[in-house]
Structure 1
Amino acid sequence: MNTRHFPFWPAGQSRHLTVPQTSLFYNIEVSATRYPDKPCILFYDTPITYAGFRDEAERIAGYLQKTCNVQRGDRVLLFMQNSPQFVLAYYGILRADAVVVPVNPMNRIDELRHYVGDTGARVAIVAQDLLQHIAPLQGQGLEHLLVATYSDYLKQPTDLQVPDFVAAPREVPAAPGITAWNDMLAGGLRPGPMLAGPDDLCVMPYTSGTTGHPKGCMHTHGNVMFSLVASMQWFNANQDAVSLSVLPFFHVTGMQGSMNGPLYYGSTIVILPRWDRDAAAQSIQRYRVTSAQVISTMAVDLLSNPRLGEFDLSSLRGIRGGGAAMPEAVARKMQVELGITYTEGYGMSETIAATHINPVMRPKLQCLGIPIYDVDARVVDPHSLQEAANGEVGEIVVHAPHVMKGYWNNPQATEESFIEIEGKRFLRTGDLAKIDEDGYFFMVDRLKRMINASGFKVWPAEVEAMLYQHPAIREACIIAARDAKRGETVKAVVVLQEAQRGKVSEQDIIDWARQHMAAYKVPRIVQFVDAIPKSPSGKLQWRELQEREQRMEQKGDDHAVQ
């Protein structure tokens, strides 16, 4: 077990974490008892108190049990954007002793059919604007659709810019098996005694499904509790914190750091359904937000806002995130512009968020951090599975209390994802990293995302990080392009800062790169685009660009990613 990071452990923090042996819903019981009149949620100036939240979550649970016949351990789909209803439905499902299956709101009917079939879910709680994508599955496993209208929770006047899909009036069709959210609450049904405990399944996020169908990660209440308590304690959270909750709740990073964690402490979350840099800055100023969780693309957009200086962001005590390394140049700009250090972490759906976080008082840039409480993380050769020597690149493997129990309905995938080392069960992450002399982990890339240029191994994430230092570059993604001489060569797909468009050429970027990185890493091809595709959680979709490039190469066209 790596212990080199112990000298840099956060002051005052124990290395072991004692976790409550209760269900996740009990956190709401505690917070509602302690702070009944305090805002649990702020949504475009409309508050929901903790007492009100508990009451509505219990009514949702009552409806699920008594009308939809949801039983202990049943899976319920949750299909909507960040909203008060997402959070209420999440906890209502848990109060009904059922399992939350959060679904990416960008999914469409064929993808949803897999979720329904794989989970055996009979009930889905869905947003009004997404109903058309899941309604055709009624009668194909789904029996009940509970439909939420975001505007039902716009109860106070606001001058914040409300997106059209949030402001849309209620239009829930009157049809068998379809129930409007307000009608569900109006029934006033109450659930039976809560039976689920720390060993019961709690939530089942699905992996992105880059190969084959997505797989459900089975997490118990105990798994989820460990993860959220660890994250909040690491950052010294308290009940008076105010969090900007803009990362998607269906994704484990936003789910834990921006939803479950703050509610455990009884603090307040300010919900934005989608990223909007002006609305984010307004919310920070208006609600005196103390912490925000964003990914690198959001940070780039926030700092690129020409209106940034108009907002008072002095309440912010920290910005943290993960998912993709924060470019060093952007992190330094954040320090200069806002006086805030960006703190990165690392985790995955299989670990229900972070296994590594940087120490707050001693973070390193573009670094995954150090293993948190009770986590044994190692770097091994991905082929021999022998532990890699210090400084060598290998695959991260993790043994931790919050590692999933396995993949739902997929024992083969479960078996392939775990190895045993010294009698411990370790999860293979598929992520390549190296450990420095202080025991900090640094991502090199995803396993197999590597460019072989004339025998030189080029790790795209490293080149991307260097390109972000160019003042004209807003976003960059590195992919492999075919090269008759080198086999593969480095291609950069670049979005320029708006003010630099037409002033900087592709050759200018190449010439700059030659001055700042080893020759074999320099992009031989640069292509300017208006936007780079992103996942709903904000990650750059390098695979999509790579696949497009390969398709065009097969047709005989050169470098046709558009």
Structure 2
Amino acid sequence: MVFHSEYEPVPTLSLPIHDAVLGRAAAYGDAPALVDGAGELSLSYAQVDAFHRRVAAGLAEAGVRKGDVLALHSPNTVLFPIAFYAATRAGASVTTIHPLATPEEFAKQLRDSAARWIVTVSPLLPAARAAAELAGGVEEVFVCDAAPEGDGVRSLQSFLASTAPEPEVAVDPAEDVAALPYSSGTTGVPKGVMLTHASIATNLAQLEPFIPMGPGDRILAVLPFFHIYGLTALMNAPLRQGATVVVLPRFELDTFLGAIQKHRINGLYVAPPIVLALAKHPAVASYDLSSLEYIVSAAAPLDAALAAACSARLGLPPVRQAYG
């Protein structure tokens, strides 16, 4: 039996994901797109658009071709989206790797996804190299931050000076895989989930009426981009709508609360353990969280009493839940 929604069907958004998200970047121009919540770096929409195109050119010059798989192995940084959209613009599919994966776990995903390229960060370079050695078939390992002195590894940042032509790759949004995240393995071994450009883009269109975001909104990205929740709700969706994404590499309560206060965050996308902290932890009282307008919880079921306690403490509308 097929169950149909009471709402009108969402038309398929048949665009490459880099165009679905960054197609309006020029219009947003100098508005802040990505902000390092634990540092000082900030990138405007114009910079994100220009930088991902130059990195795509550098990747294409290095040999990345349509049909290749690139493994993106990084905690949340302002450069994660640059690497992701550059890879898809160069024609690759991106498989996202848990930054704390062991070399053996990493290598298993590399083999299963047939990844030929790795982008990591300097602190995780030894694990990425070990995984590449175990898996075989990896052409090159890049870093997206500053390359270690004398190590011989290339940084994506060096591609910003590339004069290579921007790749013009014919993408079939309905058939070509944009992202290849892996399931957690709840019902067996982790499995690669083949998400086409159109499926991700159409999901973004589905989400727009749920919580409209736009210029001036400030979203805190503390949940990982490598997971589909973070990739969709904290990276693709706000950047498509012109909001500012404040990026944190991990959840630490005081850093999290301090970022809300400092950056005047108005939208939070979290998981139930963070809702619990907001509802119960005494540290919350030490921060000004008055900028918050809504909270969305997903990734696991949220207890109704806990949701109500969080909303009451912060003076917010009911915590929304998402799943699926």
Q: TM-score, normalised by structure 2?
A: 0.91
Compare CA radii of gyration and give the structure with the larger one.
Answer: 1
| Residue 171 of structure 1 pairs with residue 148 of structure 2 | yes
User: Which of 207, 212, 221 does residue 236 from structure 1 map onto?
Assistant: 212
- The alignment yields a C-alpha RMSD, in angstroms, of 2.0
Q: Which residue of 2 aligns with 1:51?
A: 46
Q: Which residue of 1 aligns with 2:157?
A: 182
Separation of aligned partners in 2, 1:127 and 1:260? 21
1:236–1:180 Cα change, 3 Å: closer
Letter matched to residue 58 of structure 2: Y
How far the C-alpha of 1:24 sits from its partner, in A, is 1.1
User: Which of 24, 27, 30 does residue 34 from structure 1 map onto?
Assistant: 27
How far the C-alpha of 1:292 sits from its partner, in A, is 0.7
Q: Which residue of 2 aligns with 1:142?
A: 138
Letter matched to residue 171 of structure 1: P
- The number of residue pairs the alignment matches comes to 317
Letter matched to residue 139 of structure 2: E
3-state secondary structure, aligned to 2:312: helix
How far the C-alpha of 1:133 sits from its partner, in A, is 1.0
| Residue 195 of structure 1 pairs with residue 170 of structure 2 | yes
Separation of aligned partners in 1, 2:296 and 2:22? 28
Identity %: 27
Deviation per CA, 1:5-59, whole angstroms, max 9, x where unpaired? 84xxxxxxx5221243211111344222111101110113421001111111112
Separation of aligned partners in 1, 2:149 and 2:107? 22
Separation of aligned partners in 2, 1:94 and 1:312? 39
Structure having the higher helix fraction is 2
Q: Which residue of 2 aligns with 1:130?
A: 124
Separation of aligned partners in 2, 1:211 and 1:236? 34
3-state secondary structure, aligned to 1:102: strand
Separation of aligned partners in 1, 2:149 and 2:187? 36
| Residue 346 of structure 1 pairs with residue 286 of structure 2 | no
**Is the 2:57–2:159 Cα contact (8 Å) retained in structure 1?**
no
**Is the 2:71–2:96 Cα contact (8 Å) retained in structure 1?**
yes
**Is the 1:300–1:330 Cα contact (8 Å) retained in structure 2?**
yes
**Is the 1:31–1:263 Cα contact (8 Å) retained in structure 2?**
no
Moved more, 331-340 or 80-89: 331-340
User: Which of 206, 220, 237 does residue 261 from structure 1 map onto?
Assistant: 237
Runs of at least 5 residues in structure 1 that lack an aligned partner in the other structure? 7-13, 153-169, 348-562
Query: Which runs of structure 2 are paired with 1:198-217 in the superposition (5 Å)?
Result: 198-199=173-174, 200-210=176-186, 212-217=188-193
Separation of aligned partners in 2, 1:128 and 1:336? 43
Separation of aligned partners in 1, 2:275 and 2:139? 42
Separation of aligned partners in 2, 1:284 and 1:186? 35
How far the C-alpha of 1:73 sits from its partner, in A, is 1.9
| Residue 25 of structure 1 pairs with residue 18 of structure 2 | yes
Deviation per CA, 1:183-231, whole angstroms, max 9, x where unpaired? 3333343422242131221101111124554211111111001112212
Q: Which residue of 2 aligns with 1:401?
A: none
How far the C-alpha of 1:290 sits from its partner, in A, is 1.6
Q: Which residue of 2 aligns with 1:314?
A: 290
Separation of aligned partners in 1, 2:311 and 2:185? 36
Separation of aligned partners in 1, 2:228 and 2:149? 29
Greater RCO, 1 or 2 (C-alpha within 8 Å, sep 6+) = 2
Query: Which runs of structure 2 are paired with 1:241-256 in the superposition (5 Å)?
Result: 241-256=217-232
Separation of aligned partners in 2, 1:80 and 1:31? 26
Q: Which residue of 1 aligns with 2:81?
A: 87
**Is the 2:34–2:245 Cα contact (8 Å) retained in structure 1?**
yes
Letter matched to residue 315 of structure 2: G
Query: Which runs of structure 2 are paired with 1:59-78 in the superposition (5 Å)?
Result: 59-67=54-62, 69-78=63-72
1:262–1:29 Cα change, 3 Å: closer
1:28–1:332 Cα change, 3 Å: closer
Separation of aligned partners in 1, 2:308 and 2:190? 37
Separation of aligned partners in 2, 1:112 and 1:101? 11
Structure having the higher strand fraction is 1
Letter matched to residue 94 of structure 1: T
1:239–1:15 Cα change, 3 Å: farther
Letter matched to residue 146 of structure 1: F
**Is the 2:221–2:247 Cα contact (8 Å) retained in structure 1?**
yes
1:211–1:19 Cα change, 3 Å: closer
Separation of aligned partners in 2, 1:210 and 1:22? 32
Runs of at least 5 residues in structure 2 that lack an aligned partner in the other structure? none
Separation of aligned partners in 1, 2:242 and 2:184? 31
Q: Which residue of 1 aligns with 2:250?
A: 274
Letter matched to residue 130 of structure 1: L
1:325–1:181 Cα change, 3 Å: same
1:310–1:212 Cα change, 3 Å: closer
**Is the 1:232–1:262 Cα contact (8 Å) retained in structure 2?**
no
Letter matched to residue 151 of structure 2: A
In the TM superposition, structure 1's runs of 4+ consecutive aligned residues that sit over 4 Å from their partners are: none
1:211–1:18 Cα change, 3 Å: closer
